[in-house]
Structure formats: structure tokens, C-alpha cells
Amino acid sequence: MVIDIVKVFLPSTVAFCMGIFITPFLTDYLYKHEMWKKKAGKVDMQGNATPIFNSLHKEKEVGTPRMGGIVIWGSTIVTVLFFFLLARIFPSALSHKIDFLSRNQTWLPLSTLFLGAIVGLIDDWLEIKGSRDHIAGGLSLKKRLTAVLVISLLCALWFYFKLGVSSIGLPFHFELPLGLLFIPFFMAVTVFIYSGGVIDGLDGLAGGVFASMFAAYAGIAFYQNQIDLAALCATFVGGIMAFLWFNIPPARYYMSETGTMGLTIALAVVAFLTDSLAGGYGILVLPVIALPLVLTTLSNIIQVLSKKYRGKKVFLVAPLHHHFEALGWPAYKVTMRYWIIGIIFAILGLILALIGK
């Protein structure tokens, strides 16, 4: 038990230190090469201007680099490789025990983190190098969704054919069989969670929310005796906390797509790994643990449908956290209240995941 606890917490600490170490080098490069948007603001999914959002953020997006998510996945990958190489260069019972790179638990979420991060990095690069005369830039929403769908399809096929998973877990050892429908269900869950990645809109907001979510799943995986997976989730948290150290107001950089795409896809994969495959129901508690992402996505859906069928908006601006900004809440108040909600519901989801197990 003691060594398992060390195996979970030590990589988290190492990832945090790695993130703190690499940040000065990264920010020096980002500022030197002006890796930020050349024109502040954004457009909605129909390509229309968003005047309320643009007025709130007209001075925030230009001059602050994107690509801050590199700190998260970079420190995570370095930490995983550190413990992997440590076990090979200095083989011992202890070094092999704390190596948490395993095919059955961590390869898949780590791979999806990296693949999503690379696609997001391409999007960030294109947006940074876009025209100074236009707000829109980067990969189109259609292309980003296609990338997420392809990655999630590959993961779903792996779960269904390689791992033999075709159901989702329910409390008290029940399961809901889905058969082949498991594959589109997996993809739909992944896309839904990814769509909540637009929560990366205020200094420190996304970092605090993602940290609480992965911490909750670290606890669930640990309880299921998936120690390698728990260690990886804790490593994510360490990298996120290093990012957050420099992202609290005023942000030194933004997480942007290279962070949010990789983290959201990895979160979905972790939820499925802690589901029926491990005798749990990690999917059922996902809407609770990831409530801030769920609310973000739902607020966008409600806004779009209301404008289309009612001809008017429900929120002053979507997603929801910007609505609170438009009401006059200071950005730091929105962020900290989201942190509180995220922590409370992450704890609640953790409790629910342990009940009826």
C-alpha cells in the first residue's frame, strides 16, 4: 500500500517540477517569436462576429502567447520517460515498481494525450501565423472535430475488439450492454467532452478545472487497483499545476488547443478505463466529475438552438463563464467559483464511484 501511494504521488511531484523547469525556456521562445494571435476576438460557429466577447477580451488575447499546454503534456511525457528509463538503467525491485508505463493501463490515455496535443499544436500554429486583418484562424471546427472523431474511433475499436468491452458499468455490479453501439457511444462521449474544452477562456480557469477532474479519476483508479492509471492521472495533475502556476492572472501564456484537445480526449479515455473494464462505472460519474465541461457544452448548445428556433439568446454570451463576465463579474471571481464547483463535484463524483462498487 505504501509503495502504491508513493507510485502515485511521486510522479505528480516530478511532473510539477519538470513543468516549472521547462516553462522559462518555453516562454522565452514564445515571447521572442510573438506566438500570440495577431488580432483579438473570435467568431462563432457560423462565422459571425461576437461583439460582446470581443469587447470583454479586446486587450487580453494579443500579447499573451498561446501553446501553454505544451507545459502540461511535455512535463507528463518527460516524467513517464524518466521513470521508464530509470527502471531500465538502474534495474531494481523499487525502480520497476514505480515505473507506471504499462500497455494495459497507460499506453492508450498517454497516446491520445499526445495525438490530441499535436493536432491542437497545429491549430495553434496556424492561428498564430494567420492574417493580422482577420480574427478567424487555425484549423476549422470541422477539421478539429474530424481529428477528434478519428482518434476516438481508433480508441473505441481498441476497446471493443482488443479489450472486449461492449457495455458500460452501472452501480452494484450491473452493466448496460451496448454491443456494436458501444463504438459510436464512445465517440459521442469523447466529442461531447472535447466540446467543453472551450472553457479555456479565462486566466487559470481551465487549469484548475482539469486538475480537479484528473485528481478524482486518480482516486477512482487507485481504488480499483489500477495503480499505473492512477499514477498517470496524478502526473497529469502535476503538469497542470505547473501550468497553472504561470497561468493565474495575469497569465504568462494560454493553454489553448494543444492543451485542451489532448486533455479532453485523454479524460474520456480514462473514464472508459475506469468503467466496466475495471468493474466500475467511470462513465456514469463523468458528467458529475466533469460538470464544468458539461455546463460549458450545454450552454453553447442551448444558445445555438435558442437563436435558431426562437430568434433570441438565452445567455448574454456563450459559453456560460463568459455570460457571468458579461454580467459584470470580475474574471478572477468567475475562475475561483468554477474552481470551487469543480472541486466539490469532483469529490462528489469520486464518492459516487465508490458507492455500490
Which of the listed ranges 44-58, 70-84, 189-203, 317-331 does the model predict with the highest average pLDDT? 70-84
User: What pLDDT does residue 132 have?
Assistant: 46
Please classify residue 286 by burial: count the beta carbons closer than 10 Å to its beta carbon, then call 0-12 exposed, 13-18 middle and 19+ buried: buried
Q: How far is CA 247 from CA 56, 204, 221, 241, in A?
A: 19, 5, 28, 9
Rounded to two decimals, the pTM is 0.93
pLDDT, one tens digit per residue, over 194-244 is 999 999 888 899 999 999 999 999 999 999 999 999 999 999 999 999 999
pLDDT in tens, 253-287: 999 999 999 999 999 999 999 999 999 999 999 99
Task: List the grid coordinates of 42.
Answer: 473570435
Determine the Cα–Cα distance for residues 5 and 40; give it in Å rounded to an integer.
45
Sequence ranges of the domains in the chain = 2-354
In 43-139, alpha helices (H)? 51-57, 69-89, 93-98, 107-128
Specify which residues 43 forms β-bridges with.
49
How far is the C-alpha of 171 from the C-alpha of 173, rounded, in Å? 6
Residues 202/339, Cβ–Cβ less than 8 Å: no
* pLDDT reported for residue 107: 95
pLDDT of 103-146, one tens digit each?
Answer: 999 999 999 999 999 999 999 999 888 744 445 567 889 999 99
User: If we measure between CA atoms, which residue out of 61, 199, 202 comes closest to residue 132?
Assistant: 61
What's the pLDDT at 216?
98
β-bridge mates for residue 49, sequence order: 43
